[in-house]
Structure 1
Amino acid sequence: MADEQAEAELRDQFTEAFEGADFPVTNPMDLVPALPNGPGTRFEAGDVDFTAMELSTKLSDIQDFPYEDVESLVDDLIEGLKQKDML
């Protein structure tokens, strides 16, 4: 249950942080202007805690740019966190 709650919290945080980006986005730098604190924007849920920069670095091999909308980006971020055992 805790994992599902953390996933839901992160999904909400990612959506809120990235929905203001100018889609489609072609690389991680296209997302930076949408972040409230730039690359230092922090995402926290349960035992999971990382910045946007750490997220981008750890998931660079999983993200599949370009993204046409926030939903597909967030789906890939969540899947990537699961693949890397970060969630």
Structure 2
Amino acid sequence: MTDVKAELREQFMDAFGGADYPVENQMDLVPALPNGPGTKFEAGDVSLTAMEMAAKLGSEQEFPYDDVESLVDDILEGLEAKGMI
């Protein structure tokens, strides 16, 4: 796993870990984010807000998610598939 991917994984786990699982859609994740949709994730030369990720990864995610690990796995796979990391 690249350093960027590992850093992002840690940030996503922290940010989305406080959501009330299971989550049915992206909006269920917003209350868990420290700065709502404007929450920024940064690692290496990658910088994304939660809103940017939601817009770009909507088709990559398969809600509902029962736990943070499966959500974060799909986010990272989606970012890789889109060439964003």
| TM-score band, normalised by shorter chain | over 0.9
Q: CA deviation at 1:47?
A: 1.0
Which amino acid in 2 is paired with 1:78? L
Paired with 1:50 and 1:77, the residues of 2 have a C-alpha distance of 12
Q: CA RMSD in A?
A: 0.8
What does residue range 2-81 of structure 1 map to in structure 2 within 5 Å?
Answer: 4-81=2-79
Query: What TM-score does the superposition give when structure 2 sets the normalisation length?
Result: 0.98
Q: Which runs of 5+ in 2 are unaligned?
A: none
Name the SS for the 1:50 alignment partner: strand
TM-score (norm. length: structure 1): 0.96
Task: Specify which of 67, 72, 81 is matched with residue 83 of structure 1.
Answer: 81
Unaligned runs of 5+ in 1: none
Counterparts of 1:36 and 1:11, CA distance in 2: 16
Aligned length: 85
